[in-house]
Amino acid sequence: MARTTDSDLAPHELRVLVAVADTGGFSAAAGTLGLTQSAVSHSVRGSERRIGAVLFERGRAGARPTPAGEKAVAYARRVLRLLDVLTAEARGAARSGAVEGPLRITAFRSAALHLLPPALQRLRARHPAVEPRVRIVREVGRGTAGDVADGRADIAIATLGGSAPLPPGLVASGLFEEPYALVHAPGHAAPRSLPLVDWAENCGSHTRGWWAAQDWIPKATVEAEDDGAVLSLVSAGHGMAIMPALSLAGAPASVSVADLGPDRPTRQVGYVTTAELAGSAVVRALVRGLRATLPHGVRLLGGEAAPQRTGP
């Protein structure tokens, strides 16, 4: 039997690290875990000693992870999640391959609105013992993939094909490619002359080259919080917008959608998960649901999870 080494951390020590990071202090973590503050402090000092790095900055305001601590906490979350999956997968195997247990999903807004509902409906119908938990994250910066890297999600619906590399240990696979279109209020004779309404998630590197080559696109005069707000502003006559098909699913009759021509930009939407969870029953069940319920008007993409780039 393999023996632990001095650098090994036990699951309860990983839970302490996560609790301190999540609550922002030793006292709060102790209350969450049902421990004394001294026990939490002792556990963290022991983890720091074995890792050989300071994991938290202590101060009057509480405890904040150092860069080393952020990395350690992210891996701690992922290891603890794997222990949960181990139990669920083994239990499912003993029950003739039943799929069960929690499934943590992160998605950007339009994916949560239009991709997840039919996929989750199919998932629940086929695997009622699965417990989906959905978190909506803006697809900027580290975006949805960052949630998976940090151990906060098992799978992320993400935009792929950007210039940012995937964090180590993550894999991605495309689901579909969607075109962008011009959106404006009906009846305008020259919609390309209207002011531009935009939002932060819409400036991904996958469209930047096309965008820069279009001398008719002005600088945005209005920046909205999300694509839903953009549609509302456009429908009220405040300008035009350039939006991907997923954001236009179920668009109101108060907007017109025009094709941008053969050179129109597209974006690829897919999923990101960890290398360890890619083969788990819960993740595979959701992926099958996503592939079976993709929206119309997009180019389907095939293939299993493989290393790719992601992010805006």
Residue 56 to residue 42: CA distance in whole angstroms: 13
- In 3D space, the residue among 154, 158, 125 whose CA is nearest the CA of residue 141 turns out to be 158
pLDDT in tens, 26-37: 999 999 999 999
Tokens linked to 51? 């890792």
Alpha-carbon distance of 137 to 109, in angstroms, equals: 7
d(CA 101, CA 128): 10
pTM: 0.86
Rounded Cα distance, 134 and 116, in Å: 9
Contact 310, 164 (CB under 8 A): yes
Residue 12's alpha-carbon distances to 85, 90, 104, 211, in angstroms, are 17, 21, 21, 50
Q: Which residues pair with 170 in a beta bridge?
A: 274
Report the candidate in 177, 175, 134 with the shortest Cα–Cα distance to residue 266. 177
Distance CA 158, CA 145 (A): 7
pLDDT digits (tens, 9 = 90+) for 88-115: 888 877 777 788 889 999 999 999 999 9
pLDDT one digit per residue (tens) for the chain, 312 residues? 344 456 689 999 999 999 999 999 999 999 999 999 999 999 999 999 999 999 999 988 899 999 999 999 999 999 999 898 888 888 877 777 788 889 999 999 999 999 999 999 999 999 999 999 999 999 988 899 999 999 999 999 999 987 677 888 899 999 999 999 999 999 888 899 999 999 988 866 667 888 888 899 999 989 898 999 999 999 999 999 999 999 998 888 899 999 998 889 998 999 999 999 999 999 999 999 999 998 876 777 765 544 454 444
